[in-house]
Each structure stands twice: as structure tokens, then as C-alpha cells.
Structure 1
Amino acid sequence: MAGATQPAKPPAHRGACGPSDGAAGASRRRWLQGALASALVPWAAHAAPRAGEIVIGQVAPLSGVLASTGRQMVLGGRLYFDWVNANGGVHGAAIRHEVVDDGYRVEDTVRATRALLARPEVVALFGFAGTANITQLLQDGVLAEGGAALVAPYTGGEALRTPFNPWIFHVRAGYADEAEHMVQHLTTIGVERVAVLYQDDGFGQAGLAGVRAALARRKLQPVAEAGYERNTDQVEAAVQAIRQSDAQAVIMVAINRPASAFIRRYRELGGGAQLYSISVVDPNEIVQLAGLKNAHGVRISQVVPYPFRSALPVVREYQRLLKTQAPDTEVSYTSFEEFLGAKVLVEGLRRAGPQPTRAKVLQALESLQDFDLGGLRVDYGPRNRIGSRAVEVTVIGSTGRLVR
């Protein structure tokens, strides 16, 4: 089982195996921490890969309104990639994890992805963010032309799942799955007047569509739909519209800053509806920006296992590596989700063989059917790119911590 004991062989030969319980040497820890820090800044230039390296590319929002999320995304992947490298790599080859900042700007995502895919040594893509950003890659044919798999994007947009495309391997459930779970919970407890705050772009529209569909299945519709402009936290008009609707619950399809601004202002004006959020927010940032008094009780849907309690082998594995490689960093759903994605990608690289190509990696990822990451199973196939549909709801407790 993943993470239970020191593997006899490096992970390149063992699939979902995990790190040792024993402490690594001080020099190794320093090396890992240095490598982690190097991933948290954009790459200004790309040196030619050394012999025996496997290059993967990540475009992430390391600046702008989603910067804190982007840093957590990169951290989660780097935790596992660095551990793999420190334990022999993949068939003896080290993983070179190159990161480019797109600032959550669609045009920069497209530009950076084209640049990565123009380099033949880049065999796979990893952990992008933004429904609108990645949708543009599909619409412009960037992924199809490049022919590389994109593993574990940090989005649940339905446009990236339906219609089927072969390039994107999702680890998480979609926004439609999250909306269904939240609406089912609300209607079960008698709540029928549901409003939606949404970001007015592909991300927000995907979440809004999910809520509409979930309510329609119960012969209901939103009592208010209030949008806000992407890359801002100007939500005053949305606050006023939702307050006037007399909603019993509000589902927020928003990122950290605008969600926090809405929570703070809505509560300051006396809004008493139950507040629910889609999974992409960081509860720590919500508490910091909205204030604990306002954030207490906000419910957040989650699409990966609870990472704060070491009930599963993969959670214990993640917690050990976080403590060893980034001891000043807190456990988070975001970094844990991308940690899981890194494990999926590494297994795909392993199955692709000693000289992986884009086509070999894509075919190898398809073979991960009912694959155990350490207590969480993902399932892919030639016509399936959605690894998991699991959803649960957590709550920001009285101390600011998430509770189940």
C-alpha cells in the first residue's frame, strides 16, 4: 500500500509506492527544499535538457488574483516529482519540472503552452489552472497540434470534459458533480431558494450551468444569478442583487478574492443565507480576507480526500513529504490535489517505458484503470478521462480550520 514502508525499488518501478517513514539525510533535505523553491518562480529561459532527463511543463498563475493557488499547485506536484528524483527517477531518468507563470491570463496561457509544446523534449503537461484558459487551448487546437497529455488541471469545467477530448486527464470531479452534491444536500434539508454568485467567464458559467441543471432536476431554478467580472473583486452589485432575492442559500462559483469580498460585504449588510463555495477556493485565504466572523460556517465542496487527517496511505505520504521538503507550509487541498496528479503522471511516465514520447505517455495514462494512488482510486481508459467523481462538503469552523 502506498506510503507504508520504504520501497525496495525506486517509484519508477513500483507504480503508486510512496516515501519512506525514515528521515532523509540533511543534505538531501536541503537539496529537495532548494529544488522546490526553484519551481515557485517562472522560468525566464529554458536550457537544453541533460541526458537522462524527462521534461514536463506546467503553466500556472504565480502572479495575479490566483497567485496563492498557483503556488500551492506547483508545490503539490514538486513534492512528489522531487521525491521520485531523489529515489532513482523514472527508469533512471530524472523528471525536470519546468514552470511558467501565466498570471491567470488566457492569452498568456496560450502563448506559454505553444512555447512549451514547440520543444520536442517536453513529453507531457501538468496542472494548469482556469476553465477559460484551458478551453481556449482546446478551441485554438493547441493541445491537438502538440499531441501531449495535460494531467490534473485545476478546474472542473464541463467544457473540458464534454464533448470528449483525448488530451486532458482529470483527477478531480467536475463542477457539475459538485453542484449536484450541494443542491442535493440543500434540498434534502428543505432549502429551495438558492442564489448563485459566479465569475463571468468560462469557469463561472460552467459552475452556474451545473447549479441550474441540478436545480432543474428538482423542478427548481435559481432565485438570483449575479455575476462579477473576471480578475476583479468588485462584487457590490452581486451582493445587492442576492440580498434582494431573499435566498436561503448562495452557491459561490468564484475564486479567493472575489469570494472573500462577497462573503465580507454580504455578512456586513446582514445577509443570513447559508454560503456554499465550489472547491477551488483556499479556506485560509477566505478567512484572512473575509475575516473569521464572516467566514465561519461557509461550506466548501471538495473533490479529493480530506488531507488534514492521516486516514489514507496517500494522505500520510503527502503529509510526510510536506513536512520534510516544505516544513513551513501548511497542508492544503490544493497542494494535495496536485500531489495526486503528480502520482498519476509519474505512473504514466513509468508505463511509457525508458524513452517516453508524448504518444507513449498518453497511451500509458489510458491504461490506468481502477488504479490505486494509496486509498484513492482513479480510472481512465481510451474513452474516459475523468479519474474520479467523488465529492464531499467541508465547513470553515470556529477556529478558521476546515472540518467535515
Structure 2
Amino acid sequence: MRSLPFRLSALALVCGQVCAADLVVGSVNPMSGVMADMGNELMWGARAAFEAVNAQGGVNGNRLVLLAKDGGYRPAEAAAVVKNLIEQDKPIALIAIAGTSINEEILNQKLLNHAQIPHVGPLSGGAVLRRPINPYLYNVRASYRAEASRLVKQALTMGATKIAMFYQNDDFGLDGLNSVEAELKKHNMKVIATGSYETGADDVRAAVSTIAKAGPDAVIMFSADKTAAAFMRGMRQHNSTANFYAASLVNHRILIQQAGLNNVQNLVISQVVPSPNNLSKPIVKEYRDALKRHIPEAKPSYFGLESYIAAKVLIEGLKRAGPSPTRQSLQKALDGIGRYNAGGFELTFGPNDREGSEFVDIAIVGADGEFRQ
């Protein structure tokens, strides 16, 4: 797998490799293939935060180095890359690794526990990352249950009476399905039809046929980009007029490329951080300024802002861990953060609280392909 070391300091560049005086933070994400946009946006966000703090002299005099490796998007392969990164590169922490199944595999192999290494801001709202609490895992984003609740409420507000569910048949998708069903039950409603696909599969025709026949006026999708695009395109080919709602892991630009703007327009997507265009939020302005100054080729994005916030949490923990932090002192410092205000974005952490944030908003794809709130 490709290794993409973002060397964030002049010292690291002079050494040619990571210097002993630098604090290495590792991440493994898809940096190539159809998911590369998400992986790059995540790394740009974290990198911007590290670059900004390094420009001010680092954290307690320590400079931060982001070491990003391409792990693809398959659990076993990505976990193997994580294991290798931990053992060979000796990072003090991990940050923003994406995927419920990938993070579950990391937990199942006890990679965090064996290495006693904190992982801040996994890109997943999965229940498996929340209960039981793992002492080394610090969630930043809201849970999929919170996202599902917000999507159902939005659909009902827009007049939906017949809601169907399209989902990926793994922990991510099943978490979404169970959460949607639980939310609808509060309103004495049920999902009228479901359609699923296996992780990594491309063929969604059976799901399209089943859901289209049920005649929903809304479909909630817990799906990857490629399959969500194929599903929406297929539903329109079946003359469905249903409105589409999606969980936050989809990239609307990829959906437009693969399904066409006509099919994606008015798509509602739940978002777990504020809009990267909402300059009334101090964290957004800070993120955009850091991106412009340190990574001018990168565009502001939801994924980038999310990893920037995760990096802020990690930086706060490192500040509290002292001038010679270890994984153990960092874990203790993160547990002691309590309530943390990241520029208008509230998070909480403690030994028995790893939820991070409960923030969920929505964004709607407009006629120009951009978001309107």
C-alpha cells in the first residue's frame, strides 16, 4: 500500500524522514480509487490543523507529523496496514480512520488495546464504536442513530408518509436500518420496503425493483457513493418520484458525477459538522484560513472540517499531556478534557464518555450541484 507521509515541519524535511523530536500521528484511509476524494479530504483537514499549530511553534515545542497510508477500503487489508503503521512508525496516536467495518476490525484485533494507542475521530457513527466503550477510542462525530433520527424527522417534515430503506448489508447499513425503524416506531410507522447490497458489490437492481414496486415517497440510504448513485439512477428509470435522503458518508460531488445532477438534485444529506461555508462559526473560519494558508490546493469540505476538528481535539490532549507526551499520558489527558469548545462546536470526553458530539444538521443539493442549508 502507498505511504503518503505529510511532513509538516522544516525539521522533518531537513532530516529527510521523521525526526525523533517530532510527534508522529498516523492514519490509514483510501487514498486511491473511487474513495480517494474522501481519504484526501480527511488528510487535508488534519494536516491543515497540524501545519497551523506547527507554524506557532508546535505543541509544547513538539512538531506534529501526519503519516498517512493508503489502506483501501477493505477491513482486513486496512487493519493490516494499521498494524504495520503502529509497529514500524511508532505514532503517538491515530486519527480519522474511515469505515465502520474497518474500525470494527481494528477493535476485534485489539490493535488499539495491545499498543495502548489513542484513536481520535474515527469516521463512523457505528454503535460498535460506542458500546462497550473502548478506552482508546475517541469519537468526534454523532452516531448513526442520531443521523437516522434527523433524516426521518426531515422526511416527515417534508410530508413523507411511505418511507423505504436502502442500505449496505454490514454494520454500517444495519445500524442505519435499525435506527430508522426505531425512529419511525415513535411515530407509529414502519419501513414499507427494504433493499440491500453486499459490501463491495455493484449490482443494486434487485433493491431498486423491490423498493420501486412499493411506491415510497421517501427513501433513506445508508450506502456508499457508487451504489447510492446506481440506486438513485435506477429508481428514476423505474419512474419513481421518491425523495432521497442519505447518511453523511456520501460525497455529493461523486454522486453527481455518477448519477447526474438531475437525479441528485434535492438529495438531503445528514451532516455531523457545520457547513464548511458557514463563516458565522469560528471553527469554520479557522479551518478555511488554515487550509488556504497551508494547503491551498484543497477545497473546504465536510470531511475536511470533521478531521480538522478531530485534530483540534488531539492537539488539546497533547497540550495537556506535557512536553514529553506518551500514549499513556495522552490517553489520560484526553479523558480529562471534559467539555471542549472547538470554536463553536461543542464536544465532551471523559473516562465514561466517548460520544464527542451530538450535532447533526442537514444539507440539500441544489440545482447548481452545491449545498443549500
**Per the shorter chain, which TM-score range?**
over 0.9
Name the counterpart of 1:293.
262
Q: 2: distance between equivalents of 1:326 and 1:36? A: 15
Name the counterpart of 2:105.
136
Name the counterpart of 1:383.
352
Name the counterpart of 2:40.
71
Q: What is the total number of aligned residue pairs between the two structures?
A: 363
1:121 and 2:90 correspond: yes
Name the counterpart of 2:321.
352
* Aligned pairs for 1:249-288 within 5 A: 249-288=218-257
Superposed displacement of residue 190, structure 1: 4.1
Q: 1:375 to 1:36 in 2, by over 3 A?
A: farther
Question: What TM-score do you get using the length of structure 2 for normalisation?
Answer: 0.93
Give the SS at the match of 1:379: strand
1:174 and 2:143 correspond: yes
Superposed displacement of residue 228, structure 1: 1.2
Question: What TM-score do you get using the length of structure 1 for normalisation?
Answer: 0.86
- CA contact 2:5–2:67 (8 Å) conserved in 1: no
Give the SS at the match of 1:393: strand
Give the SS at the match of 1:128: coil
Aligned AA (2:161): E
Give the SS at the match of 1:250: strand
256-265 vs 72-81, which moves further: 256-265
Superposed displacement of residue 355, structure 1: 1.0
354-363 vs 115-124, which moves further: 115-124
Name the counterpart of 2:12.
none
CA RMSD of superposed structures (Å) = 1.9
* 1:223 alignment partner, one of 175, 180, 192: 192
- 1:110-144 CA-partner distances (Å, limit 9, x unpaired): 11121222248321111101101111111222221
Q: 1: distance between equivalents of 2:89 and 2:148? A: 39
Q: 2: distance between equivalents of 1:38 and 1:56? A: 11
Name the counterpart of 1:26.
none
Name the counterpart of 2:271.
302
393-402 vs 222-231, which moves further: 222-231
Superposed displacement of residue 38, structure 1: 6.6
Superposed displacement of residue 37, structure 1: 6.7
Name the counterpart of 1:94.
63
* 2:29 alignment partner, one of 51, 60, 74: 60
- CA contact 2:282–2:343 (8 Å) conserved in 1: yes
Q: 1: distance between equivalents of 2:344 and 2:102? A: 31
- CA contact 1:256–1:282 (8 Å) conserved in 2: yes
Q: 1: distance between equivalents of 2:339 and 2:6? A: 34
Superposed displacement of residue 36, structure 1: 8.7
1:367 and 2:367 correspond: no
* 1:154 alignment partner, one of 117, 120, 123: 123
Aligned AA (1:400): G
Superposed displacement of residue 63, structure 1: 2.3
* 1:335 alignment partner, one of 304, 310, 324: 304
* 1:206 alignment partner, one of 153, 160, 175: 175
Give the SS at the match of 2:349: coil
Structure 1 gap ranges (5+):
1-34, 40-46
337-346 vs 211-220, which moves further: 211-220
Deviant stretches of 4+, over 6 Å: 35-39
Q: 1: distance between equivalents of 2:267 and 2:5? A: 32
Q: 1: distance between equivalents of 2:233 and 2:277? A: 26
- CA contact 1:370–1:378 (8 Å) conserved in 2: yes
Give the SS at the match of 2:350: coil
Q: 1:188 to 1:293 in 2, by over 3 A?
A: closer
Structure 2 gap ranges (5+):
9-15
Superposed displacement of residue 48, structure 1: 7.0
Give the SS at the match of 1:380: strand
Q: 1:37 to 1:168 in 2, by over 3 A?
A: closer
Q: 2: distance between equivalents of 1:191 and 1:163? A: 35
Superposed displacement of residue 188, structure 1: 4.1
Q: 1:261 to 1:213 in 2, by over 3 A?
A: same
Q: 1:36 to 1:100 in 2, by over 3 A?
A: closer
Q: 1:196 to 1:402 in 2, by over 3 A?
A: same
Name the counterpart of 2:281.
312
Aligned AA (1:183): V
- CA contact 1:61–1:102 (8 Å) conserved in 2: yes
Name the counterpart of 2:11.
none
